[in-house]
């Protein structure tokens, strides 16, 4: 890495492999546990294998942040190669302990490492990371890069259809799910993630109607710089949905099967739209 600035993120950002290879992005894998067996998210188990195993598990899957040592090693290695500033972008504390562990690791490096709360997940975070990495390649200053990150965070939108609430309820990440759950079991829930908070924005009886509602919301976002369709084990729906959204953005929509550490919390059948609105 010949840049003086680096961006670090974690595997829940769902950075497409081509962007990981072409941009100065370092990804730290989250930890996934399936029936007592531990995997590094994105490295030790494929997404296809994970979704195949999910219905057969004897206990719910769990996820965790990388170790303090994992972050520490990454930061130290980057600095030893000549990097002078690191922006480390991660999940919000409401969803994970990732930010806390990264913050603890960063303390050893003083102002060389700055931690950034994305307020998002999947490509809601990934788009922020990509914008930062592109700014690094352009030679922007660290102050400018930090402003670009903040602006991207403000302009990201993420909405999703959750096909089953079973996994989200087990995760304990969404406080309002416990109350009145019985009334929600027979409907499809539409969620929005904003500033680290998961909000229910609608519910409909059928999956088809839910997808139509997602499209209507996305069509109201205005001019978009980036667009993605995220899914969990629903490739055909994702492909069809991406075609329906093509006119919303000059760039073709990215289709992303969410990584295992996200799939463990939302279960199969989820479908989402993630966008980066064009800055004025």
Residues 169 and 92: their CA atoms lie apart, in Å, by: 19
User: Residue 1: is its pLDDT beyond 60?
Assistant: no
The ranges assigned to domains in the chain are 5-154, 155-277
Planar angle of CA 215, 216, 220, nearest 5 degrees: 110
User: Residue 175: is its pLDDT beyond 60?
Assistant: no
- Asked if residues 75 and 106 have their Cβ atoms less than 8 Å apart, the reply is yes
pLDDT of residue 179: 44
- Residue 237, SS3? helix
Beta bridge pairs of residue 33? 38, 62
* pLDDT digit string, tens, across residues 190-201: 999 999 998 989
The mean per-residue pLDDT over the stretch 181-197 comes to 77
- Of 119-123, 149-153, 266-270, the range with the lowest mean pLDDT is 266-270
Residues 259 and 241: their CA atoms lie apart, in Å, by: 19
> Architecture of domain 155-277 in CATH?
2-Layer Sandwich (3.30)
pTM: 0.93
- Residue 184, SS3? coil
pLDDT of residue 184: 53
* pLDDT digit string, tens, across residues 38-52: 999 989 999 999 999
Whole-number percent of the chain with pLDDT over 70? 92
Using pLDDT thresholds of 50, 70 and 90, give the confidence band for residue 245: very high
What is the CATH topology of the domain spanning 5-154?
Rossmann fold (3.40.50)
Residues whose CB falls within 8 Å of the CB of residue 197, separated by 6 or more in sequence, listed in order: 94
* pLDDT digit string, tens, across residues 24-40: 999 999 999 999 999 99
Residues 15 and 61: their CA atoms lie apart, in Å, by: 22
Rg (CA), the chain: 18
């Amino acid at each position: 890495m010949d840049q003086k600035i680096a961006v670090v993120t974690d595997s829940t950002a769902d950075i497409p492999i081509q962007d990981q290879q072409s941009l100065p992005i370092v990804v730290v894998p989250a930890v996934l546990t399936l029936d007592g067996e531990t995997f590094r998210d994105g490295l030790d188990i494929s997404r296809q294998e994970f979704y195949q195993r999910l219905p057969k598990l004897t206990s719910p899957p769990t996820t965790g942040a990388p170790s303090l040592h994992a972050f520490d090693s990454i930061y130290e290695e980057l600095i030893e190669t000549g990097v002078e500033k690191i922006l480390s972008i991660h999940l919000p504390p409401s969803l994970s302990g990732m930010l806390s562990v990264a913050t603890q690791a960063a303390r050893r490096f003083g102002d060389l490492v700055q931690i950034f709360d994305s307020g998002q997940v999947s490509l809601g975070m990934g788009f922020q990371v990509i914008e930062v990495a592109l700014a690094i390649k352009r030679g922007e200053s660290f102050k400018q890069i930090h402003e670009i990150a903040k602006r991207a965070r403000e302009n990201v939108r993420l909405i999703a259809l959750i096909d089953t609430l079973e996994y989200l309820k087990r995760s304990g990440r969404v406080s309002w799910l416990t109350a009145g759950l019985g009334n929600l079991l027979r409907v499809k829930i539409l969620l929005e993630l904003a500033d680290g908070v998961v909000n229910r924005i609608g519910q409909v009886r059928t999956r088809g109607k839910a997808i139509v509602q997602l499209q209507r919301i996305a069509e109201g976002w205005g001019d978009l710089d980036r667009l993605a369709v995220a899914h969990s084990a629903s490739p055909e729906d994702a492909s069809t949905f991406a075609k329906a959204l093509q006119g919303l953005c000059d760039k073709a929509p990215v289709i992303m099967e969410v990584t295992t550490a996200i799939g463990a919390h939302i279960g199969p059948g989820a479908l989402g739209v993630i966008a980066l609105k064009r800055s004025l």
